[in-house]
Amino acid sequence: MFDGPFDVFALIIAIAAFFIAIKASSQAADLRRRLSSFEEVLHAQRPVQPPPLAPVWEQAPATTTTAAPEPPPLAPEPELAPPPPLAEDVSPPPLEASLEAGAPPPVPAPAPGFEERLGTRWVVWIGGLALALGGFFMVRYSIEAGLLGPGVRVFLSGLFALALLGAGEWTRRKESISSLQALPIANIPAILTAAGTAVAFATIYAAYALYEFLVPATAFVLLGLVALGTLAAALLHGPALAGLGVVGAFVTPILVSSGKPEYWALYVYLAIVTAASFGLARIRLWRWLAVTTIVFAVLWTFPGLDAAELQVAPHAFHVIAGFLLAALLVVCGFMFGPGIDDGEIEPVSSSALGAYLFGAMLIVLSSGHADLALLAFTLLVAGTLFVAWRAPAATGALGAAAATVFIVFAEWAVRANPDMLVLPGGAMPGIGPTATGSAVTLHLVMAAIFAAGFGIAGFLAQGRSNSAIIPVVWSATAVAMPIAILVALYARIAHLDRSIPFAIVAVLLAAAFGAATEALARRETRPGIAISTALFATGTLGAMALALTFALDKGWLTIALALMSLGTAWISMQRPIPFLRWLAAILAGLVTARIAYDPRIVGDAVGTTPIFNWLLWGYGVPAASFWAASIFLRRRADDAPLRMVETAAILFTALLAFMEIRHFATGGRMTVPPSLLEFALQVCITLAMAIGLERLRLRSHSIVHNVGAVVLTAIGGLISVFGLLIMENPLLWRIDVGGAVFNLLLLGYALPAVLMLLLSYAVVGERGKVYANTIAAGALVFALAYVTLEIRRFYHGPILSTGPTTGAEQYTYSIGWLAFGVALLGVGILVNSERARLASAAVIALTILKAFVIDMSTLTGVYRALSFMCLGVVLVAIGWLYQRILFRRQAAPPPAAQTGT
């Protein structure tokens, strides 16, 4: 039916299928050859027992060329029984005679070489491929060239198919009575029969769809007969014929094409082919054949989806028919499907239903949510719930059903449609004459059906299985689907604005989940019941979060989610369900993501009042909630959820301080560049919080508090260096520092120096010496910077970056540094602090360096003399202090003189 690139695609598929079948046939031939070599030795050693039972679905096909029983797996263990003979007319020679004569056991036949494989197998396979393609392309050529009439074409094609089928059956019968061992490995009967069935499919289909020689009923019967004939032939000839038959049947509509697509004829034909292929796969338990059929059937859903006028009815018939056939023949433990142990989820059973759900979803999306497409999709989802309820092997299809339902509603929610109602109270002015269109009504009905179906079935499925995974899957879909559908409807109808009706629905949903949680908590212990209870409890809190989302503005939503994290942590104390701890952490993560999206919480409506604005509520309430939640969670365990909540608590506390400082420093204009005041306040607050965490971690022994203290210290150091010493340094930039004593220098340099000193003492003995000394060095740098900048403020006024530096100013710097060094030395002597004395030595050394490098070259007259005189006096005084006071106090008393007796 389809010309163009599909011809090349069909040829590639056919060739690939032939070579796959070649590999399977070669493996089976090697098995038969090796079994024949060991048959004589194994036959008389043990009594004959039946071969082991086959699994639910065979992983790999076993090729048979005759009607003889299939051999068991190769090289059985010594205690197992030998396999039955390959054919009834083959009898092994007596083993006793060979053993009495001392004859050695027969040597296995050598593996066939390249020439043997080429002459007995590959040539035959390629010949069969050529026969099949030759018949197809002869039909195409006759159509394009107009050589023969339609009736003659169909008649000749039928004769050619019968000839191939007859040749295949004749060669099979000849091989079954022949003593030759070379011909069966070539699989000539299977190849000829496969080519004949493929040509027969094409002939009947062309007579019906192209030339209208057959009415639909007759074509249906004939195609069914050919499909049944292919099924019977594959039972005799093995998987090679099945593989070629299914590939040829699905590729036939591409090779035998027409100008106008007839989707009804195509999909009726594909339904017959799918039924025959699924039936054969069920009888022989060939997993590969079922999977191949599903893949081809789903691929045939794509033609026509992008057309301007999509024919929904035939496409819907295609997915519904395929779904029904898969449920009847493929799903293990349901109707005619293979048997399976209770409580096991089988991949083929679940993926078969999921594949057709995917096809139905594509039809809905491509048709713009047409009513018929939505109805077909609803039937398939309902069918998935029913099949999974009766057959636990298909429980995995619930995930596919939930995913496709969410995609359908999510796509409908984001679809631009201004004609629809955006508020539940009535039509908006200028939008349209009706409040709700039929599509909205149909989607609302579908949403109610899906939510009720998944929710009720998921609750009732608890306790029905001895496996833990099956009730968990049911409960997960029961919780996720109603919430996801409600979110999609809210986005579509309310456009993410406040909506009290949606909030009421969310509260009712939370009540339903809460009732389910209590009911499951009172039940006896069953596999998976604890996880399912946790999932329904999660749904309760999630629905409450949605209710708050629907009813509150953006800022209140942030607060509500944070309080829900606290409530979840408290509930985890009352109901020790492990997942509740994770839910508290997940809610904390959601609030963090919400802050990352809009750090101002409420956009431009933060307000201009310092401190008492929306930042205090938007950051302060979540920070307090997370701190309280971490206290509740820590009472049971120190695990990953606790650490996540503690991280959120530290983060929101720091963000509260930073955002409030920025709001205060910028007057509410949060987008202006930072200033010296902002950097100074941020450094002070960061260092104060680091000191607090250092103290807290000694009691909690929390790794989060430990890492948080280090991170805050690093942030404070970076802001100090790059913000205060470089970006907003009043010596480098024109900055008004304020009054003579109480100014920005006191806030930006003196106070950080004190906090750094306190932090260094807080980490002494708890962290490495280098870490503590680095912080102490930072305190020394900022203290010296404060002394220097305050002297500069005395000479230059509020603007430090303008005006020349006089000799008196240079002299004052030296005197000030000396005084600062002496003060440090005095403190070090009084409290016996080696670090203070070393800091004093560093300051005095810097003063000496300044005297010899700067003062000697810039100062003149009395200032130069006074500078060096003061320096000399101070150095002599320091030496006297060290010799007379410090060392004398630290010196040990001399040992007492010994007296003789």
Please give the residue that has the higher pLDDT: either 604 or 480. Answer: 480
pLDDT, position 614: 85
Task: Quickly state the pLDDT bin for 454 (edges 50, 70, 90).
Answer: very high
Task: Quickly state the pLDDT bin for 546 (edges 50, 70, 90).
Answer: confident
Q: Give yes or no for residue 496 having a pLDDT over 90.
A: no
pLDDT, position 468: 84
Torsion of CA 623, 624, 629, 631, to 10 degrees: 110
pLDDT, position 101: 47
Q: How far apart are CA 177 and CA 161, in angstroms?
A: 25
CA distances from 394 to 132, 337, 431, 555 (A): 38, 11, 46, 44
Q: Side chain identity at 424, as an amino acid letter?
A: P
CA distances from 877 to 820, 841, 865, 882, 884 (A): 14, 13, 18, 9, 10
pLDDT, position 559: 84
Q: Give yes or no for residue 686 having a pLDDT over 90.
A: yes
Q: Which residues contact 519 (CB under 8 A, 6 or more apart)?
A: 459
pLDDT, position 60: 43
Instruction: State the average pLDDT for the chain.
Output: 77
CA distances from 274 to 279, 291, 440 (A): 8, 11, 36
Q: Which residues contact 74 (CB under 8 A, 6 or more apart)?
A: 31, 34, 35
Place of tokens 């101070």: 874
Highest mean pLDDT range out of 185-189, 235-239, 755-759, 849-853? 755-759
Q: Give yes or no for residue 866 having a pLDDT over 80.
A: no
Q: Helix, strand or coil for residue 804? A: coil
Q: Side chain identity at 894, as an amino acid letter?
A: P
- Residues 693 and 709: beta-carbon distance below 8 Å: yes
Highest mean pLDDT range out of 70-84, 422-436, 813-827? 813-827
Per cent of the chain over pLDDT 70 is 70
Q: Give yes or no for residue 106 having a pLDDT over 60.
A: no
Q: Give yes or no for residue 534 having a pLDDT over 50.
A: yes
- Residues 788 and 818: beta-carbon distance below 8 Å: no
Q: Give yes or no for residue 863 having a pLDDT over 60.
A: yes
Q: Give yes or no for residue 49 having a pLDDT over 80.
A: no
**Of 64-78, 157-171, 278-292, 311-325, the least confident:** 64-78
**Of 82-86, 590-594, 690-694, 896-900, the least confident:** 82-86
pLDDT, position 744: 94
Q: pLDDT digits over 613-669, tens only?
A: 888 888 999 999 999 999 999 998 899 999 999 999 999 999 999 999 999 998 888
- Residues 728 and 677: beta-carbon distance below 8 Å: no
Please give the residue that has the higher pLDDT: either 837 or 39. Answer: 837
Place of tokens 């005197």: 815
736 backbone dihedrals φ, ψ, rounded to 5°: -85, 115
Highest mean pLDDT range out of 19-28, 276-285, 774-783? 774-783
Element (H, E) at 689: helix 676-700
pLDDT, position 529: 86
865 backbone dihedrals φ, ψ, rounded to 5°: -65, -50
Q: Annotate 624-678 with DSSP letters as a single string.
A: HHHHHHHHHHHTT---HHHHHHHHHHHHHHHHHHHHHHHHHHHTT-TTSPP-HHH
Q: Annotate 452-513 with DSSP letters as a single string.
A: HHHHHHHHHTTTS-S-SHHHHHHHHHHHHHHHHHHHHHIIIIITTS--HHHHHHHHHHHHHH
CA distances from 698 to 263, 593, 701, 709, 765 (A): 75, 30, 6, 11, 12
Mean pLDDT, to the nearest integer, of 571-584?
79
Per cent of the chain over pLDDT 90 is 32
Closest to 477 measured CA to CA, from 358, 548, 374, 396: 396
- Residues 826 and 886: beta-carbon distance below 8 Å: no
CA distances from 827 to 675, 744, 786, 833, 889 (A): 34, 26, 18, 8, 15
Q: pLDDT digits over 247-266, tens only?
A: 767 876 775 555 567 788 88
Q: What's the full length of the chain, in residues?
A: 901
Q: Give yes or no for residue 185 having a pLDDT over 90.
A: no
Q: Measured at the alpha carbon of residue 762, what is the angle toward residues 761 and 767, in degrees to the nearest 5?
A: 95
Residue 12 burial by Cβ neighbours in a 10 Å radius (0-12, 13-18, 19+): exposed
Closest to 476 measured CA to CA, from 422, 537, 425, 521: 537
Task: Quickly state the pLDDT bin for 83 (edges 50, 70, 90).
Answer: very low
Q: Give yes or no for residue 314 having a pLDDT over 60.
A: yes
pLDDT, position 36: 63
Q: How far apart are CA 657 and CA 829, in angstroms?
A: 38
Please give the residue that has the higher pLDDT: either 571 or 779. Answer: 779
Q: Give yes or no for residue 572 having a pLDDT over 90.
A: no
For the chain, what percentages of helix, strand and coil (3-state, to nearest 5) are there?
A: 70, 0, 30
pLDDT, position 213: 75
CA distances from 640 to 591, 595, 630, 645, 850 (A): 18, 22, 11, 9, 55
- The whole-angstrom distance between residue 738's C-alpha and the CA centroid of its chain comes to 55
Q: Give yes or no for residue 127 having a pLDDT over 80.
A: no
Q: Give yes or no for residue 74 having a pLDDT over 50.
A: no
CA distances from 200 to 136, 205, 823 (A): 10, 8, 108
The token pair at 150 is 């339609």
Q: How many CA atoms lie within 13 A of 273 on its CB side?
A: 33
Place of tokens 């997942």: 579
Q: pLDDT digits over 511-529, tens only?
A: 999 899 888 888 877 888 8
Q: Give yes or no for residue 467 having a pLDDT over 70.
A: yes
Task: Quickly state the pLDDT bin for 158 (edges 50, 70, 90).
Answer: confident
Q: How far apart are CA 29 and CA 184, in angstroms?
A: 8
Task: Quickly state the pLDDT bin for 850 (edges 50, 70, 90).
Answer: confident
Q: Give yes or no for residue 590 having a pLDDT over 90.
A: no
Task: Quickly state the pLDDT bin for 79 (edges 50, 70, 90).
Answer: very low
Q: Helix, strand or coil for residue 60? A: coil
DSSP summary character for residue 187: T
Q: Helix, strand or coil for residue 736? A: strand
Mean pLDDT, to the nearest integer, of 490-506?
85
Q: Give yes or no for residue 873 having a pLDDT over 60.
A: yes
- Residues 690 and 759: beta-carbon distance below 8 Å: yes
- Residues 569 and 632: beta-carbon distance below 8 Å: yes
Closest to 481 measured CA to CA, from 503, 500, 459: 459
Q: pLDDT digits over 724-753, tens only?
A: 999 999 999 999 999 988 999 999 999 999
Q: Helix, strand or coil for residue 802? A: coil
Q: How far apart are CA 876 and CA 530, in angstroms?
A: 80
Task: Quickly state the pLDDT bin for 551 (edges 50, 70, 90).
Answer: confident
Q: Helix, strand or coil for residue 373? A: helix
Q: Annotate 157-171 with DSSP letters as a single string.
A: HHHHHHHHHHHHHHH
Q: How far apart are CA 140 and CA 799, in angstroms?
A: 94
Q: Give yes or no for residue 182 having a pLDDT over 80.
A: no
pLDDT, position 677: 94
CA distances from 810 to 56, 183, 508, 746, 841 (A): 95, 111, 78, 21, 21
Q: Helix, strand or coil for residue 335? A: coil
